[in-house]
Chain A
Amino acid sequence: KNEVEQSPQNLTAQEGEFITINCSYSVGISALHWLQQHPGGGIVSLFMLSSGKKKHGRLIATINIQEKHSSLHITASHPRDSAVYICAVISNTGNQFYFGTGTSLTVIP
């Protein structure tokens, strides 16, 4: 069983749609990251969360510590948002990293 589960695994959306990617985890954490990986392999850190909600442009990330759940939302999706989105958590011992397998998003014009 993976410590971090993401859903859906694959997602296709029409340009302009509101997108939600979910992440559930089973360990106690000190922080949760949302990462974006483009087809060329480069990884960009989008958010680091330990509570509440963060917003950056069209991206919104929320986390519910009690429910061990986080969501990444993309408003007004655009084809350039097409990428793999990865959820990663850092255990509250500070010593272990756990990654989800990613959600592959394709936004169609």
Chain B
Amino acid sequence: DTGVSQDPRHKITKRGQNVTFRCDPISEHNRLYWYRQTLGQGPEFLTYFQNEAQLEKSRLLSDRFSAERPKGSFSTLEIQRTEQGDSAMYLCASSLGLFGETQYFGPGTRLLVL
């Protein structure tokens, strides 16, 4: 399978704990995007990378959130000191080259903060 993969698919954690999610994009894609989706809502943009450079961060991305793509391949999204409001589906997508090109989405990581 050469699609976008995310790990883990589900995560349950206690409030205050740190969590880290991983996204592996399609191998030749240089752009990688992170989104968050809460129940009944459309996805919200969080951040995106062009190769290893983080080019844009949404105001939704508080100081507790950090994303990296150290070698321009896989990316990690870390949430520190999780809060119940962080419970959501975290989606990763990748695309090739030009902005606005078709994005290919991963299956998402569903986070539940108790």
Residues of A within 8 A of B (CB): 4, 30-31, 33, 35, 41-45, 48, 50, 86, 88, 90, 94-102
Contact = CB atoms under 8 A, between A and B. Distances in A.
A43 B89 CA distance: 12
B85 interface: no
Contacts of A97: 33, 35, 45
13 contacts: A31-B99, A41-B108, A41-B110, A43-B91, A43-B93, A43-B108, A44-B105, A86-B42, A88-B43, A96-B56, A97-B35, A99-B43, A102-B42
Contacts of A48: 100-102
B42 A50 contact: no
B45 A99 contact: yes
B73 interface: no
A97 to B, nearest CB: 4
Contacts of A86: 42-43
A93 B41 CA distance: 24
Nearest to B110: A41
Contacts of B105: 35, 42-45
B104 A45 contact: yes
A90 to B, nearest CB: 5
Given A44-B105, A94-B99, A101-B40, 13 more contacts: A30-B99, A30-B100, A33-B102, A43-B105, A45-B103, A86-B42, A86-B43, A88-B43, A90-B99, A94-B100, A95-B55, A96-B56, A99-B45
Contacts of A100: 42
B72 interface: no
Nearest to B107: A42
A12 to B, nearest CB: 17
A9 to B, nearest CB: 10
B26 to A, nearest CB: 12
Contact of B42 (A44, A45, A88): A88
A37 to B, nearest CB: 9
B100 to A, nearest CB: 3
Given A86-B42, A97-B45, A101-B40, A41 B89 contact: yes
